[in-house]
Structure 1
Amino acid sequence: MNSIDDIAPRLTGSKEGTFRYETIRTRWPTILTRVIDHFSTGIEKFTTRYGEDAEKSVKQILSALSEIHYLMVTDKPLRLLTDNFEDVNVWNEHLSSLRLNKELVNSTWYKEPWLFVECYLYRLIFSFVFQSQVMEAHDYFFHQKIASFHTHTDQIILGVEDLNKFVALGQNEQSITSSLTSLLKICLWGNRADLSLSGGIASLFNESSKDLDARDKYILINHIPDAINYLKSIKPKVGDALSRIDIILDNSGVELAGDLTLADYLVTAGLVDKVVFHGKKIPWFVSDTTPDDFQWTIKAIAELKGSDGAVREDCQRFSRSITERLEQGIYEFKCEGFWTLPFPYTEMATRAPELYADLSESSLVILKGDLNYRKLVEDRDWTYETPMMNAVGNFLISPLLVLRTLKSETVVGLDRTVVDHVLSRYGDDYQWMTTGTYAVAHFHVSK
């Protein structure tokens, strides 16, 4: 009997011509260079903010980053982490286990599983900054996230306007369906604004809700109607019990703003009682949402201005509502350590049993973005028609709503007609899976 590694091997960056290979060869060095530039051009600013010792810390960080840049582009063996952050032993034990039964020369940037190595890159950058002590809490991606937010303020304002229109329509069956359809599409396509994909270029998502229907032909799996029917059934099913959904966040900025509008509507319309947002504990994949990003975004929304230069009252009200619901416990933000480990979600039950048990109590878990998707399906080379149930293995938390624009070379659950259509257009070119042009909205219920 064939093993899962025979049926669907884990993706690596070793094959020339693949997106993974080009990512390691060009995109990761670009991201690393931007971090190096951030520190090298900001020494005076850091000294003012963190004190005179910051200059020495920056030089140490730059030296470490430059060395890793060299080791990456020359495909040298991966090194153990040397910091004392809470998860360091988990990382080093796993890296050591990957090295078993192989020569050290084969435990490199291109040869180890791509999911692990990409997570390792971001954890390694964090390691260097954390060890500086003086600047251990510094977010070296924060300035890029701020720039992305300001690039997309028009879309964020339109999202707030749309939310108010949807709420004003009332809670009849038709208005709830149409409103949720628009909001879920905003959440789906907002995932295009990913700074790790663009290498730090701020703008990838320029559509308003009015434009999104035209993108339906690019949604390869569209279970949004099924998800809406389920959302409308949650309260009747649970009765007087607390109804809760969990959103596993991806990018800050315009995508986070879209997630917040969805949460607002679900609570305001009485469809759920509580929304839990799950972010990242440390800077991650350039634009992923940290606790500071979450709070900054709420405040920044309140300061958005209209064309007349005046602060918009609707944005202020929206921001105030988020803050009040956080204070009341209707909203909650968490950042469990598992989200910044390199493991697929098939290992959550054993590696993070409390998180797994907590999510199992949720009425619906919404997974956002490409990285969450890759972890859900173990970042393997599945055939396109592989049922989602097969790919998620023993990750039995459900229902799941997976909202992802495709930015890597793995996807499952496609119908044969969809596969034929895409392949007839692209042939052997995998670009359709890597540019954020196509998306999936997969509603999954474990049998």
Structure 2
Amino acid sequence: MAETTPIGALLSAKYKSSYAYVTVKDRLPVILSKIVDSLYRNKEKIHAQYGVEGSEELKTLIGKISKLRNEVQTNKPILPITDSDSDVGDWNDYLIEEKERSNGVQPSWFNNPWLYVECYMYRRIQEAVNLSRTLNQIDVFQESKEGTFFSSHEAVKVLLTFLDDSISNQKSIDDNILVKSALSKFLRFSLWGNKCDLSISAGFENSQKQSPVKTLEKLESNILVDNTEDIFNVLNQLKNKKEGPLEMDIILDNAGYEVLTDFCLAEFLLCSGFAKCVRFHGKNFPWFVSDVTRRDFEWTLNTMAASENSVCATFGKTWERRLADGSWKFTTHRFWTLPHDFNKMKTNSHNLYDQLASSDFLIFKGDLNYRKLVGDINWDMTTSFSKSIRDFHPAPVCALRAIKCDTVVGLNEGIAEKVAKEDPQWLINGNWGLICLSQNPS
């Protein structure tokens, strides 16, 4: 039977050897240190763009990030958000609720659910940016995100060439067996693209260096839940029921190489006749180091379109046209950058829930989205994915996730124990994956 407490609910002595404790005490300060280093390194560039006022505000911004790092390291109390963004009430109400759940004890960095404090750290970073006059549009993670994209260029070319070949063979793709095989590959490209996560690597370079095609072969046995056939069947049923292509949503995770894999999946779904429109959901502000913002989304397409590599340029221009003709859409919502799990969406952000309910199929990318789908709850690992997402079911839900924390569901009996013997770090190293589907609430 599942425990209904969050993973790492209290980072007391019981959890001091856990990944949750390491995340808060060690990894988060490293991320903050890398922000400070990046801002120092780019001070001349910032001065050239923003002038003397920008240089002075840069010192203040660096000071605030350094102060936040000290708060994390010394387990200071969690403080209310003080800027004027529309989500301030949500964050500060959540802080009050956390205090009530802690029997009146003021929440602090080591003593409250790590999903909350990790999300809170990124909101505090954005608070420091928002309170600037001239630097209030700066992305403190921009340098690392762009660097990861460029360092993955060889893998990008291989992936796009594979996509181009798949589209060129469109006549034979009418064969259901070939369609299913191609869908399987693009789901896997998107799944393993999730290994390139800068928040897990604490902001250190984490690009795709190997051929993505070879990665599929190497990691095939590492997919612990594989609902690919069910996904194919559901897409076919929906397509036939609607007598035409579907509208789909992809809730994005990381920029860089990973978002390229998501673009390729979307393009395949469109070209194979499964989708007529794909709506991408990104973040309102920089989040978990490498999550996709509108700027990242547009920068990626513009950079590809201007590439000297022909296949990159071709798809970059194609995808810019898709945005123009509406077959691709990009949207954001403040709910994606709140600490709530998705079971709270219907009451907290019903307009977003209604938007997702208008979709035919939902694809959630990455570890954080998965944790929020299942509530970051310590479920028994054999619990079904449909049960673990509880009342969140606006449409069929697919989750593609490389495992990077210790909440996992949907495994067959004995699988967790077998994998743990083979790889003691399997819950945190991103080398094991899940392709999950929930069609109906259980």
TM over 0.5, yes or no?
yes
Tell me the residue number matched to 2:429: 435
Q: List aligned pairs for 1:306-385, cutoff 5 A.
A: 311-385=308-382
Q: List aligned pairs for 1:20-39, cutoff 5 A.
A: 20-39=20-39
| Superposition deviation, residue 300 in structure 1 | 1.7
Aligned residue type for 1:362: S
Q: Which of residues 227, 236, 251 in structure 1 aligns to 2:240? A: 236
Note the residue ranges of structure 1 that are not aligned, 5 or more in a row.
Answer: 305-310
Aligned 8 A contact 2:6 2:113 in 1 = no
The CA distance in 2 between the partners of 1:243 and 1:120, in whole Å, is 36
Matched, 1:286 2:289: yes
Q: Deviations over 1:146-168 (max 9, x none)?
A: 10001111111111100111112
Aligned residue type for 2:232: I
Matched, 1:66 2:59: no
Report the more deviating stretch, 314-323 or 223-232: 223-232
| Superposition deviation, residue 132 in structure 1 | 0.6
| Superposition deviation, residue 106 in structure 1 | 5.0
Tell me the residue number matched to 1:307: none
Taking structure 1 as reference, are residues 202 and 233 closer, same or farther at Cα in structure 2, changes over 3 Å only? farther
SS of 2:199's partner is: helix
The CA distance in 2 between the partners of 1:211 and 1:102, in whole Å, is 45
The CA distance in 1 between the partners of 2:147 and 2:31, in whole Å, is 16
Matched, 1:89 2:92: no
Tell me the residue number matched to 2:220: 216
Note the residue ranges of structure 2 that are not aligned, 5 or more in a row.
Answer: none
SS of 2:275's partner is: coil
TM-score (norm 1): 0.93
Tell me the residue number matched to 2:148: 148
The CA distance in 2 between the partners of 1:409 and 1:102, in whole Å, is 23
Q: Deviations over 1:124-173 (max 9, x none)?
A: 00100110121111001011001000111111111110011111222222
Tell me the residue number matched to 1:409: 406
Q: List aligned pairs for 1:6-45, cutoff 5 A.
A: 7-12=4-9, 13-14=11-12, 15-45=15-45
Report the more deviating stretch, 179-188 or 6-15: 6-15
| Superposition deviation, residue 315 in structure 1 | 1.9
Aligned residue type for 1:131: L
The CA distance in 1 between the partners of 2:43 and 2:273, in whole Å, is 50
SS of 2:194's partner is: helix
Tell me the residue number matched to 1:108: 108
Aligned length, in residue pairs: 434
| Superposition deviation, residue 239 in structure 1 | 1.6
Q: Deviations over 1:57-108 (max 9, x none)?
A: 1121122111111111111111111111111111011112211264775511
SS of 1:195's partner is: coil
The CA distance in 2 between the partners of 1:282 and 1:151, in whole Å, is 24
The CA distance in 1 between the partners of 2:60 and 2:105, in whole Å, is 27
The CA distance in 1 between the partners of 2:183 and 2:284, in whole Å, is 30
Tell me the residue number matched to 1:201: 204
* Percent of pairs with identical residues: 32
Matched, 1:177 2:174: no
| Superposition deviation, residue 110 in structure 1 | 1.1
| Superposition deviation, residue 288 in structure 1 | 0.3
The CA distance in 2 between the partners of 1:231 and 1:295, in whole Å, is 28
Q: Which of residues 225, 230, 239 in structure 2 aligns to 1:226? A: 230
Taking structure 1 as reference, are residues 389 and 132 closer, same or farther at Cα in structure 2, changes over 3 Å only? same
Aligned residue type for 2:324: E
Tell me the residue number matched to 2:421: 424
TM-score (norm 2): 0.94
Aligned 8 A contact 2:343 2:373 in 1 = yes
SS of 1:257's partner is: helix
SS of 1:277's partner is: strand
SS of 2:401's partner is: strand
| Superposition deviation, residue 272 in structure 1 | 1.0
The CA distance in 2 between the partners of 1:200 and 1:102, in whole Å, is 31
SS of 2:249's partner is: strand
| Superposition deviation, residue 204 in structure 1 | 4.8
Matched, 1:277 2:280: yes
Tell me the residue number matched to 2:127: 127
Tell me the residue number matched to 1:252: 255
| Superposition deviation, residue 26 in structure 1 | 1.3
Aligned 8 A contact 2:385 2:409 in 1 = yes
Matched, 1:191 2:194: yes
Matched, 1:262 2:259: no
Taking structure 1 as reference, are residues 349 and 400 closer, same or farther at Cα in structure 2, changes over 3 Å only? same
- RMSD of the TM alignment (CA)? 1.7
